[in-house]
């Protein structure tokens, strides 16, 4: 079975760990969000790709969900001692190596997709990890800060400001001119199932869908497309998805996110058992829906979520 | 009193610590060797400048004489895990920060002299540290390896090969086209005393002298030029100076190094007490010479060496 998963960072990565358990023989391709990529200290940092790679490759800091295990922060401390920032972005000493290797390869002319493949040669994530695009796409968030309206990099909004001010707009700068990375459209065309893990519908999956050709390839694939709600009980399971949902005019509920994707894209949608009353509304939008436990409290729970998603895909296929 | 010191790495840095003690009110300018600079992982590394900066700024690893105190090597381990080398060059996590800041500034267009000044803003070495040149000079060593004659970067010869094969030639590539960094010729012209610490006469001080204009500025300064022998008892005090002395046809003795500099450049020369028999030979070459303890076994001993050098400079001035 060929499964394609659109993934952001932590939520996507943890779901993938469950999916590997649920479908050990499946051929899994992950299309990773690169809209949150950022250049820091002259280095290209790809937080979402790395979170997937580290999580599936056994190098992740399990507690925080991002960054490396057994990490130290000496380099960052020294940069701060030189007065060089930003200090709000937590790059550890081990993590820096990934960005140095990536930047060296990018500088040498390799596209990000080839670089990601080379990095995965070490981590062996057990999935094929593709960036959504080799082109530069950078998610900016329009905010009002100190009485002034300005656009900040997504990481500045998310990490430095901790989404403490309303996001007035979320713009994946460069997306319109970008092309899907090599292998992305092929993987979608050959997929048996396409899954949206409980990743952020705006800044993770939404950004991937903003790369011209990807949304169409999913809609045209003619295979079940099943998603899992990142909103449980009207609040994001992790992160601050509600902050950016408001920017695109979507309420922070499991049902509203399904409607946001729409039946043109989505065939099935899993909501948490606490959101069982959303099922009727989602079905009314022409999307198959079921309530199952969606808290990724551990590998078993996550594996069960992946099984439910695959079962729903089967159901869609047979319908 | 204005003192100019030509310095390599460890020997120069330790001597400077003694000099600061011996002449606390002096205005000290250090002209640092940059011929051993190397690009690693896309970063510009200046080992000699950093050794001076860290030693005088209190950040040095005292035992090994180079690199940072309380250092970790996680980034380097990770690079190796990616298969990215070289592994033989010991860049620590804290040290990396210096190279990242330097590279960022160089990339932004700042000359190395301005970058060095910016880095010293943090370290406050208590001397004015100038690179010999803002231009790229790279010391290469001609060797025979596996039956083939080839040129290797000085660091590869020194650190990877540990000078285990004969150096057939030592070439400061780019030196002929280089210009002294801003402030170098001015400092020499305004100096009251010029000192050659017990640094390597070929790859440290020799490389500085290879920058067109510097040798002439020293000879024309009309002030005492006093050196300290890096060779004690026919062997280098530290490092492997004998290996590169052979390449320039100079025997590894305190007297031969003085003759190599020559009376056109050098007015006074200190040899160690074990080399007292060299005094007559050096004097015969027209260079004032005296035998004093030259082992930099601690700050007191090093301070005393600096006092001897300054006393000899006085003697030259009065002669």
Question: What domains can you pick out in chain B, each with its CATH number?
Answer: 2-36+125-133+177-318 (3.40.50.10680)
Mean pLDDT of A73-100: 96
Rounded to an integer, the average pLDDT of A127-134 is 98
Q: Is B99's pLDDT higher than 80?
A: yes
pLDDT score for B34? 98
What average pLDDT score do residues A192-211 get? 97
Enumerate residues 6+ apart whose C-beta is below 8 A from B108.
none
Q: Is the predicted pLDDT of residue B182 greater than 90, yes or no? A: yes
Cα angle value B197/B198/B199 (rounded, 5°): 90
Model pLDDT for residues B66-76, shown as the tens digit of each residue:
999 999 999 99
Per-residue pLDDT reduced to its tens digit, A143-155: 999 899 999 999 9
Q: Is residue A234 packed enough to be buried (19+ CB in 10 Å), middle (13-18) or exposed (0-12)? A: middle
CA dihedral A118, A122, A128, A131 (to 10 degrees): -50
Phi, psi of A30 (to 5 degrees): -110, 125
Task: Report the share of chain B in percent with pLDDT over 90.
Answer: 94
Alpha carbons A137 and B306: distance in angstroms, whole number? 59
Distance separating alpha carbons of residues B80 and A253, to the nearest angstrom = 46
Banded model confidence at residue A243, pLDDT cuts 50, 70, 90: confident
**pLDDT attached to residue B93:** 98
- Smallest Cβ–Cβ distance between A81 and the set B76, B100, B122 belongs to B122
Rounded to whole angstroms, the Cα distance separating B68 from A82 reads 15
Contact criterion met (CB below 8 Å) for A270 and A226:
yes
Model confidence at A96: pLDDT above 80? yes
pLDDT value, residue A240:
79
CB B102, CB B44: distance < 8 Å:
yes
d(CA B276, CA B256): 14
Mutate which of A84, A97, A104 to disrupt the B interface (most B C-beta within 10 Å)?
A97
Q: Is the pLDDT of residue B221 over 90?
A: yes
The pLDDT of residue A241: 81
A50: annotated binding-site residue? yes
What is the layout of strands, in order, in the sheet containing A193-196?
A: A128-131, A27-32, A2-7, A193-196, A225-228, A268-271, A288-291
A94 vs B72: CB contact, 8 Å cut-off? no
Among A78, A103, A107, the residue with its CB nearest the CB of B94 is: A78
Which chain A residues are closer than 8 Å to B42 by Cβ? 42, 100, 103-104, 107
For residue A195, is pLDDT > 80?
yes
Query: In chain A, what residues touch B124 (CB-CB under 8 Å)?
Result: none
What average pLDDT score do residues A175-185 get? 98
For the stretch B48-86, pLDDT in tens is 999 999 999 999 999 999 999 999 999 999 999 999 989
Contacts of B104 in chain A (CB under 8 A): 41-42, 84
User: Judged by CB atoms within 8 Å, which residues 124-163 of A form the interface with B?
Assistant: none
The pLDDT of residue A152: 95
Residue B42: which of A92, A97, A100 has the nearest Cβ?
A: A100
Q: Report the pLDDT averaged over residues A216-223.
A: 97
Please report residues of B whose CB lies closer than 8 A to that of A98. 78, 82
Whole-angstrom distance, CA of residue A226 vs CA of residue A303: 15
With CA atoms as reference, report the closest residue to B295 among B222, B232, B209, B247: B232
Query: In the predicted model, what is the mean pLDDT of residues B96-122?
Result: 97
Residue A48 tokens read as: 């979402």
Q: Name the helix (H) or strand (E) containing B301.
A: helix B299-318
B-chain CB neighbours of A93 within 8 Å are 72, 74-75, 78, 93, 96
Give the three-class secondary structure for A172: strand
Tell me what pLDDT residue A305 has.
98
Which DSSP letter does residue B68 get? B
The answer to whether B100 contacts A77, with C-beta atoms less than 8 Å apart, is no
- Interface contact B74-A82, CB threshold 8 A: no
ipTM at complex level: 0.91
pLDDT tens for residues B235-248?
Answer: 888 777 888 999 99
Q: Cβ of B83 and A119 within 8 Å?
A: no
Q: Could you give the CA distance from residue B229 to residue A83 in angstroms, rounded to a whole number?
A: 39
Q: Which residues contact B169 (CB under 8 A, 6 or more apart)?
A: B141, B142, B247
CA angle B56, B57, B59 (to 5 degrees): 110
Give me the DSSP letters along B152-185: EEHHIIIIISTT-S---EEEEETGGG--BPTTHH
Question: Can you give the pLDDT at residue A111?
Answer: 98
Among candidates A75, A103, A107 on the partner chain, residue whose Cβ is nearest the Cβ of B93 = A75
Residue B217's contacts (CB-CB under 8 Å, 6 or more residues apart) are B180, B184, B185, B188, B189
Residue A317 in contact with partner chain B when CB distance is under 8 A: no
Give, in order, the Cα–Cα distances in Å from A120 to each of A5, A26, A146, A259.
17, 18, 42, 35
Contact present, B52 and B129 (Cβ < 8 Å): yes
Within 10 angstroms of residue B249's Cβ, the number of other Cβ atoms is 8
Sign of the torsion angle spanned by Cα atoms A253, A258, A262, A265? positive
| CB-closest option in B41, B72, B122 to A72 | B72
The answer to whether the peptide bond before residue A86 is cis (omega within 30 degrees of 0) is: yes
| Mean model confidence pLDDT for chain A | 96
B86: cis peptide before it, omega within 30°?
yes
Task: Report the sign of the C-alpha dihedral through residues B121, B127, B131, B134, in that order.
Answer: positive
Q: How many residues does chain B have?
A: 319
DSSP class of A207: H
Note which residues in 80-119 of chain B have CB less than 8 A from chain A: 81-84, 92-94, 96-98, 100-101, 103-104, 107, 119
Flag if A41 and B104 touch (Cβ within 8 Å): yes
User: What does the pLDDT read at residue A36?
Assistant: 96
* Mean pLDDT over the full length of chain B: 96
pLDDT at A239 over 80: no
Mean pLDDT of B273-279: 97
What pLDDT, on a 0 to 100 scale, did the predictor assign at position A235?
Answer: 82
The minimal CB distance from A42 to the residues B78, B82, B103 is found for B103
Contact call for residues A226 and A312 (beta carbons, < 8 A):
yes
Instruction: Answer yes or no: is pLDDT of B158 > 80.
Output: yes
Residue of B nearest to A75 (CA): B94
Q: Give the Cα separation of B110 and A80 in Å (integer).
A: 20
State the number of CA atoms in the 13 A half-sphere of B75 facing the CB.
27
């Amino acid at each position: 079975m060929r499964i394609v998963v659109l993934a952001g960072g932590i939520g996507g990565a943890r779901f993938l760990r469950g999916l590997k358990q649920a479908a050990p023989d499946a051929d899994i391709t992950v299309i990773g969000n690169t809209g949150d990529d950022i250049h820091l200290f002259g280095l290209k940092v790809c937080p979402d790709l790395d979170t997937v790679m580290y999580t599936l490759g056994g190098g992740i800091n399990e507690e925080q969900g991002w960054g490396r295990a057994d990490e130290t922060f000496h380099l960052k401390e020294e940069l701060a001692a030189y007065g060089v920032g930003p200090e709000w972005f937590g790059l550890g000493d081990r993590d820096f190596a990934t960005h140095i290797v990536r930047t060296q390869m990018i500088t040498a002319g390799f596209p990000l997709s080839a670089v990601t493949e080379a990095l995965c040669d070490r981590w062996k994530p057990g999935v094929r990890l593709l960036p959504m695009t080799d082109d530069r796409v950078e998610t900016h968030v329009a905010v009002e800060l100190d009485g002034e309206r300005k656009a900040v990099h997504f990481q500045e909004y998310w990490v430095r400001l901790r989404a403490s001010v309303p996001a007035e707009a979320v713009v994946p700068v460069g997306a319109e001119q970008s092309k899907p990375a090599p292998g992305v459209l092929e993987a979608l065309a050959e997929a048996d199932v396409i899954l949206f893990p409980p990743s952020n519908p705006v800044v993770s999956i939404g950004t991937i869908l903003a790369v011209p050709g990807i949304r169409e390839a999913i809609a045209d694939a003619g295979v079940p497309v099943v998603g899992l709600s990142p909103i449980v009980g009207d609040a994001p399971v992790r992160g601050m998805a509600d902050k950016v949902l408001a920017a695109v005019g979507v309420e922070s509920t499991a049902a509203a996110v399904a409607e946001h994707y729409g039946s043109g894209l989505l065939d099935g949608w899993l909501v948490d058992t606490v959101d069982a009353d959303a099922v009727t509304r989602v079905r009314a939008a022409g999307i198959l829906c079921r309530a199952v436990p969606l808290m990724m409290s551990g590998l078993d729970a996550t594996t069960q979520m992946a099984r439910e998603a695959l079962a729903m895909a089967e159901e869609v296929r047979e319908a």
